[in-house]
Structure 1
């Protein structure tokens, strides 16, 4: 299994790896190390290996050159800017220490006026040096990062390589994709897998190239592509005209090499089939909660949400759990608090993100910081019981193509926590909530309508919770059911490859899979 992140925090790949191992495969999950050192641990029966990934190709060529004409005072891009800033900071720290020494000497009657004058002069010099370094560093940063790739030159550059190389244009537009290949590719070859499960578009290329190399060496390999999002509907992390065309070209080049496609919703499956002319409909594997992955005994304890917020059972509590970014709509939740007296809001997010700090500062400005609680993530198997301490689960995401086409992870987590929902009017979630009666829908970005929806749910919580008593509703939204679909895909793909080899039994069957085909115990 391949994923382009550090595994921790990605519940989908963690559940996939554990479930595949439980079904009898030898599973190695390769992710990206956050440092220059490799890391490894066990995830149930699966082995996780995080690989260090240098990314020199991620930087554009101009970021290795000094912008003499536009920013003549900027430092060269060789690390000297950071060195000079730290050097001046150390000098100022030494001057603060020297000033304290002079103050102590004066207090003891040993005042040295010459030394004090020289100290003041050095303070002025340090201020000038600090300002000079700041100016040069500012120009250095502008030279490196200010370019937005939206000018006529970049448009012409993008068009030229698209016309020249077709789907191979990503090699020129976003060569940083090769950094993934150089980090992961040799390890995949060494492992010699029978099946490669590539999560999302960056890993698709790594998996496809590994498959082709293996086939050239006479070793059959099958490739599963797990598409988490619809690439044309992704908002690039910066306004870079090259990024999306490059990523789409990369995906188009390697999608035909996938033996099966797995995705997160029927709507996304339809889009992928049309985008890549797939011969069969992708299998849908929902990112549902996996209660069965909770450890037993003391290790299975779950923190208390309300205790972490410092509030009692009688305090109305709205919770949001997941990624924190502007399109997720967290600002709407905070802006609503002045109109919801007595109601508290908990954000279970990464508290170190600049966006989260910005949200907290905004809450302080409008006087509701005492009712906003920012909490760190918990383990994926703890999420459902942890969230069950709230009264309402909120999903205030904005309209964006990928937001419209799937039931996202937190939707299922809230449902299994039996929380009434307040969701924005993005297509799939709004339709589901209206049909099940498990919550209220409000207009995205509309604070007043969000307030209305929260008030409606808090006024009759049990009516909305009763929706979860519908027979089969929650049972279909479990990871156990989704794991059967996923391992069924594996068995179907490996049925031909497993012929003529000794295999051991013990695998459960899946509707639509080969009749009671056992899983080879030694298959990876």
Structure 2
């Protein structure tokens, strides 16, 4: 947007929402920074993990992290009168009774010890009397203990049952509530979605946004309700929904069976509230239009790298230096979120077949459980010396950081969302001039076959993955050459952000 655009002059306020702590979410950071650079007054609201409000800036955009108080899981927030009538009700009652029982037992233990110590100076009759006097207390505590243990076991059984949600009662209940409540069933299946409302809603109202940009499905309802409140006061407020993935096709983050149903219903409940919809790929755009009956095809804003930011002056970190490797050592890299369905285990299994090749994982939690498991498996296979687990760098540093590697890996497994998207690391590898080894998922596999920028292997097959890596390492020049043909011109954040900014302008110009 030109600096003298009328919407710049009056500094229309854009408030962006995201469920996470912002750091590590490159799409959200780039959206905020580029919108602020284009002249809007931008505030990005995310979730604080510290329990305190945190503030900083990304370029000219303000970032504000707000504490979100987490309550009961939906499946543990109601009493199981029919399923487990003896179970304790939700809340602290069970823990209180168990603490009370431990206290009683400690008191009985003290009384028995005192009797043993003092009994030496008493006659047999006196000892008998004191033992008899203690007997009712001992019997009472023993009986109470059996009762409390029984109720605690019933509570544990109820919790396990509700996590599984596989009984006939659960199936009937699900059908009943879906038929009665329709898309509003999320309010019963996952009322924790309201926790974002109670945390972010008051902050949003104070900011008086002209446009709210809600990132992903959990923020859609928060943004829609805030926009409605602004309009109810006679104020202008537009809502942009940024769908990062196709929700029905994702692997659920939460294992509880009702969670995914709740998120899908919540998204359907508020999708029609959006004045504009953007997403990350053409296939997802078509699915969103069809599944939500949208009047227009969502605008595609691919999560391409911010090439201009990558050229900031000053030293840039190097992945080879971080791994302590010279230029002659073959180095393959995976950069991104860490999860089993992303095929990271397959990478470790392939290493024994790639003699002398080192592998770097650049992930958000290098000390997390899965990273530790992957390192342990590498040790079992005798390749731990060739595995390097590194933390994220700043989003603008990713491309230069990766550029000294030899191959970029995308070994994701077959899930619907994996089939649909051109994900962030695809573009980052391309701008780092890395040949790509990708699994045979539909969109990315098809793109690599079309462009010739890498090799495609069978998802979940470490042997085929190793073959693909070897093929590139044997002669990387043809793969790199395809990336110098103008292919990357459209794969920049500057080009993609202009589509987003055009949507902002069009919506705000309508008043």
TM range (shorter): 0.7 to 0.9
Task: Return the match for 2:265 from 249, 253, 275.
Answer: 249
Structure (1 or 2) with the larger CA radius of gyration: 2
- Aligned residue for 1:9? 24
Q: Is the 8 A contact 1:74 1:138 kept in 2?
A: no
How far apart, in 2, do the equivalents of 1:13 and 1:195 lie? 15
- Aligned residue for 1:214? 230
TM-score (norm 2): 0.82
Please say if 1:286 is aligned against 2:302: yes
How far apart, in 2, do the equivalents of 1:71 and 1:436 lie? 64
- Aligned residue for 1:198? 214
Please say if 1:183 is aligned against 2:199: yes
Task: Return the match for 1:475 from 481, 486, 489.
Answer: 489
* Residues 68-122 of structure 1, C-alpha deviations (whole Å, 9 max, x = no match): 96998999856959x98xx9xxxxxxxxxxxxxxxxxxxxxxxxxxxxxxxxxxx
Aligned to 1:348, the other structure's residue is in SS state strand
Please say if 1:227 is aligned against 2:227: no
Moved more, 253-262 or 285-294: 285-294
Aligned to 1:6, the other structure's residue is in SS state coil
Q: Is the 8 A contact 1:418 1:468 kept in 2?
A: yes
1:204–1:62 Cα change, 3 Å: closer
Q: Is the 8 A contact 2:77 2:90 kept in 1?
A: no
Residue 249 of structure 1 and its aligned partner are, at CA, apart by 1.2
Matches within 5 A, 1:451-462: 451-462=466-477
Q: Is the 8 A contact 2:453 2:483 kept in 1?
A: yes
- 5+ residue gaps, structure 2: 1-15, 103-150
Q: Is the 8 A contact 2:436 2:455 kept in 1?
A: yes
Aligned to 2:302, the other structure's residue is in SS state coil
Aligned to 2:510, the other structure's residue is in SS state helix
- Aligned residue for 2:446? 431
Residue 303 of structure 1 and its aligned partner are, at CA, apart by 1.6
- Aligned residue for 1:325? 339
Moved more, 428-437 or 60-69: 60-69
Aligned to 2:506, the other structure's residue is in SS state helix
- Aligned residue for 2:122? none
Aligned to 1:469, the other structure's residue is in SS state coil
Q: Is the 8 A contact 1:252 1:276 kept in 2?
A: yes
TM-score (norm 1): 0.80
How far apart, in 1, do the equivalents of 2:333 and 2:482 lie? 19
How far apart, in 1, do the equivalents of 2:329 and 2:86 lie? 56
Aligned to 2:438, the other structure's residue is in SS state strand
* Residues 436-495 of structure 1, C-alpha deviations (whole Å, 9 max, x = no match): 110000000111111110010000111110011112x11100001011111011001111
How far apart, in 1, do the equivalents of 2:180 and 2:435 lie? 54
- Aligned residue for 1:154? 170
Q: Is the 8 A contact 2:19 2:219 kept in 1?
A: yes
Task: Return the match for 1:379 from 394, 399, 410.
Answer: 394
- Aligned residue for 1:312? 326
Q: Is the 8 A contact 2:453 2:480 kept in 1?
A: yes
- 5+ residue gaps, structure 1: 88-135, 498-524
- Aligned residue for 2:49? 34
Residue 307 of structure 1 and its aligned partner are, at CA, apart by 1.7
1:220–1:421 Cα change, 3 Å: same
Aligned to 1:156, the other structure's residue is in SS state helix
Task: Return the match for 1:395 from 400, 407, 410.
Answer: 410
Residue 154 of structure 1 and its aligned partner are, at CA, apart by 2.0
1:74–1:448 Cα change, 3 Å: farther
Residue 63 of structure 1 and its aligned partner are, at CA, apart by 7.9
1:142–1:46 Cα change, 3 Å: farther
Q: Is the 8 A contact 2:76 2:90 kept in 1?
A: no
Q: Is the 8 A contact 1:65 1:77 kept in 2?
A: no
* Residues 319-370 of structure 1, C-alpha deviations (whole Å, 9 max, x = no match): 0000110100011111111111101110001212211111111111111111
How far apart, in 1, do the equivalents of 2:493 and 2:181 lie? 42
Matches within 5 A, 1:113-192: 144=159, 147-192=163-208
Residue 161 of structure 1 and its aligned partner are, at CA, apart by 1.2
Residue 237 of structure 1 and its aligned partner are, at CA, apart by 2.6
Task: Return the match for 1:43 from 49, 52, 58.
Answer: 58
Q: Is the 8 A contact 1:346 1:374 kept in 2?
A: yes
1:190–1:445 Cα change, 3 Å: same
How far apart, in 1, do the equivalents of 2:79 and 2:410 lie? 42
Q: Is the 8 A contact 2:304 2:496 kept in 1?
A: yes
Task: Return the match for 2:315 from 278, 301, 320.
Answer: 301
Matches within 5 A, 1:17-28: 17-28=32-43
How far apart, in 2, do the equivalents of 1:48 and 1:17 lie? 9
